[in-house]
């Protein structure tokens, strides 16, 4: 599912209220970014998460699609605040090759 630029600009993290109602901070939070299996996509997703929470508080796992053209990058964040989670979502939505985020 590809999104147009106008739709992407309106994409944001879940609301602060929803995040606080369903997650305890500090704590673990998982973000999944789907895109092409390219080094540029991987690097952009990693850099975006690292920019917000730092390399030490992110665990990364990858899973390729059945045909190997796409990848799901799972970011497990040790988030100190809800603002860090929102910041990571903002960073992910700025990745040009992003197809979907969960």
Q: pLDDT for 43-90, tens place per residue?
A: 999 999 999 999 999 999 999 999 999 999 999 999 999 999 999 999
pLDDT for the residue 2: 43
pLDDT for the residue 11: 57
Residue 6, pLDDT > 70, answer no
Residue 17, pLDDT > 80, answer yes
pLDDT bin (cut points 50, 70, 90) of residue 4 is very low
Is 3.30.70.260 the CATH number for 5-101? Answer: yes
Domain boundaries defined on the chain: 5-101
Q: Classify burial at 24, counting beta carbons within 10 Å of its beta carbon; exposed 0-12, middle 13-18, buried 19 or more.
A: exposed
What is the distance of C-alpha 37 from the center of its chain? 15
């Amino acid at each position: 599912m590809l999104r147009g630029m106008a739709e992407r600009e309106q994409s944001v993290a879940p609301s602060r209220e929803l995040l606080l109602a369903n997650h305890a901070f500090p704590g673990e939070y998982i973000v999944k970014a789907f895109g092409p299996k390219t080094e540029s996509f991987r690097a952009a997703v990693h850099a975006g998460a690292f920019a917000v929470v730092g390399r030490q508080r992110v665990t990364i796992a990858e899973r390729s699609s059945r045909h190997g053209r796409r990848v799901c990058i799972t970011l497990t964040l040790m988030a100190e605040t809800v603002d860090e989670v929102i910041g990571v979502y903002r960073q992910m939505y700025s990745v040009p090759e992003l197809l979907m985020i969960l």
